[in-house]
Chains A and B, each alone.
Chain A
Amino acid sequence: MGRYVIRRTGAAIATLIAASIVIFAFIHLIPGDPVYVMLGDGATPDQVAALRDKMGLDEPLVAQYLIWAGNALQGDLGQSIFFETPVTQVILAGAETSILLALITMVWIIAFGVPVGILAAIRQGTMIDQGLSGLAMLLASVPTFWVGLYLILIFAAGLGWLPSSGYPSIFEQGGLANLSYLILPSLALAAPNAALILRLTRASMLDVAREDYVRTARAKGIRPSRVVLRHILRNALLAVVSAFGFTFAALISEAVVTETVFALPGVGRTVVQSIMRRDYPVIQGVILVIVCMFLVINLIVDLSYRLLDPRVELE
């Protein structure tokens, strides 16, 4: 187990270094002089020289990367050109919304996708199964923003049960009740992903149910419910758990759209705005943070996989 953790962590760090080089290079891939692109045509030579100096663009490339990476390791991702504050601050401002949104969405996905997938598998071929599988197909095919708009239309505009947009911090007036602002966005974001997890859980359960060892378990005379829980489910979840890593990646890209639809002050919206403002340091910083989170999540998935499947170490 120890060696496995070290190997996996090492692989994650190597990936991070590779990714950081790509992210760093990004600023030099901008056509023309990045400084002019950032500052626009009306920049005075003084401003240009100041920014060029601040970004260290006159240093050799390797030195630039090392300085940038060294600063990043110490939590300094540079200065936002638009806000003129540290990039870390810009990201942190959106972090609360984005992290809570992702967590609540994951809760929906796991709480809905996995058990309903199990139910559909147990009732394979019945009306229940066909209904649930049809619903899953529908949710997986419909774009997030469309689900979001319909949720707003029904639950916010129509019934008036939930707020339609914005999100005041839970540390401000209203406290935890402010989480109600995240219910509709998280549902919209969860819908297609929960549908995928549902279909995956169902398919995986049905696959495992055909395995020889499930027949062995039945032959022992143990109750059907125990066959499902102890012998089928645990093996079926192996495939589902490894899908969570990809689900997370999907969440990140879909969150950008969702935060825009629901006007949430999250990191996703910050990225969209920064792209329009050509605020490259912020874009770089956010991408770096996302890469780190993605690697950490996948590391957790890999390690939990090891706990679920004793065969992993050999492979």
Chain B
Amino acid sequence: MLSVKDLVVSVGRGPDIVRNVSFRIEPGEILGLVGESGSGKSMTSLALMGLLPPTLSISGGSVMLDDTDITYLAPYQRVRRNCGRVAMIFQEPMTSLNPVLRVGDQIEEAVQVHDPDANASARARELLDLVRIPDAAHQLSAYPHELSGGMRQRVMIAIALACRPRVLIADEPTTALDVTVQRQVLGLIRELCDSLHMGVLFITHDLGVVAQLADRVAVMYAGELMETADVGPLFRAPLHPYTAGLMACLPNPESDDPIMATIPGSAPRPGEIPDGCPFAPRCDRASAPCRSGLVPLVHGAPGQSARCHFPLNERAGA
């Protein structure tokens, strides 16, 4: 079980771009992390991986996998200490594989890091079967440019699975793919999550994908978590006005109105985030208390919570 507590990521001595983010991912569960571009989703995921770019650093909070603190460890340090089996796949399968190495070599490399005694080529073939790549033996000797985008993302998943991860982080893994291929990859992730009993952190800006795939959802805005809930309650009865606003922006095929709804204004940039609730300036329910001080945590359905003074569907006593 992966547990993130009060995670803060900052730019050098500059502003915090991820603030006090906490969530848990249970084995076999897919947590969808939703937010607009620039909301801090990707930086949260890179922080969990220990892969933040050199200009960014974790300045508070912790990341625990089971009982081990892996907060400040880079992946190679995690391997050395034999802990923190968290793997990641990325948005751009086209550029995420080394163009001059054969697919097989890149998978075998990942196998050998975690299990030096394994028969790497046999295991690489197993992994390609696992991610449903046909004709595995032949594909192992292909170069990345010889594969399609969907195939490359499957290879990325195979590389990620080489360490037998407890948690897989998927950062918008289907955004760059065709819709049909997208569905196949989503199906594969769901299937692997169930069969390998692996937790998945699925990052996306697409609420439709979340509704289809995730068990639980965390909604992020301007570096903070606005609302966390099981997928059912979140779509039926969102607590936070921002969550409700995002859903109103989903295209509705039955609506006659040709203009889709939008949330007025734009997300604040790091360093310009207002005091109090960061969403207050764009929120039609906001009033004086929203603009300063701590925002209280409110609860809805079991497992549903949000930070809001004036939630939409609060359930008393929850």
Contact = CB atoms under 8 A, between A and B. Distances in A.
Interface of A: 211-213, 215-224, 230-231, 234-235, 238, 308-311, 314
B90 interface: yes
A216 B88 CA distance: 8
Given A217-B98, A218-B75, A230-B101, 18 more contacts: A215-B51, A216-B96, A216-B159, A218-B51, A219-B49, A219-B75, A219-B87, A219-B160, A220-B75, A220-B162, A221-B78, A221-B163, A222-B109, A235-B99, A308-B100, A309-B100, A310-B145, A311-B99
Contacts of B99: 213, 235, 309-311
Contacts of B92: 212
A211 B75 CA distance: 17
Contacts of A230: 101, 109
22 contacts: A213-B95, A213-B96, A215-B51, A215-B90, A216-B97, A216-B98, A216-B156, A216-B159, A218-B74, A219-B88, A220-B75, A220-B113, A221-B76, A222-B113, A224-B76, A235-B98, A235-B99, A309-B99, A310-B99, A310-B100, A311-B143, A311-B145
A12 B162 CA distance: 46
A220 B90 contact: no
Which of A216, A221, A308, A310 gathers most chain B CB within 10 Å?
A: A221
If over half of A's interface residues share one DSSP class (helix, strand or loop), that class is named, otherwise mixed; here it is helix
- Determine the interface band of chain B, counting residues with CB < 8 A from chain A: 20 to 34
Contacts of B109: 217, 220, 222, 230
Contact of B76 (A211, A212, A223, A231): A223
Interface string B62-75: 00000000000011
Contacts of B301: none
A274 B272 CA distance: 72
Interface string B242-278: 0000000000000000000000000000000000000
B75 A212 contact: no
Contacts of A222: 76, 109, 113
Which of A216, A224, A235 gathers most chain B CB within 10 Å?
A: A216
B211 interface: no
Nearest to B85: A221
Contacts of A215: 51, 90, 96
A93 B40 CA distance: 70
B213 interface: no
Contacts of A216: 90, 96-98, 156, 159
A231 B90 CA distance: 17
Interface in B74-108: 74-76, 78-79, 87-88, 90, 92, 95-101
Contacts of B51: 215, 218-219
Nearest to A225: B76
A217 B51 CA distance: 11
B114 interface: yes
A225 to B, nearest CB: 10
Contacts of B1: none
A235 B143 CA distance: 14
Contacts of A218: 51, 74-76
Contact of B100 (A219, A220, A221, A235): A235
Contacts of B79: 221
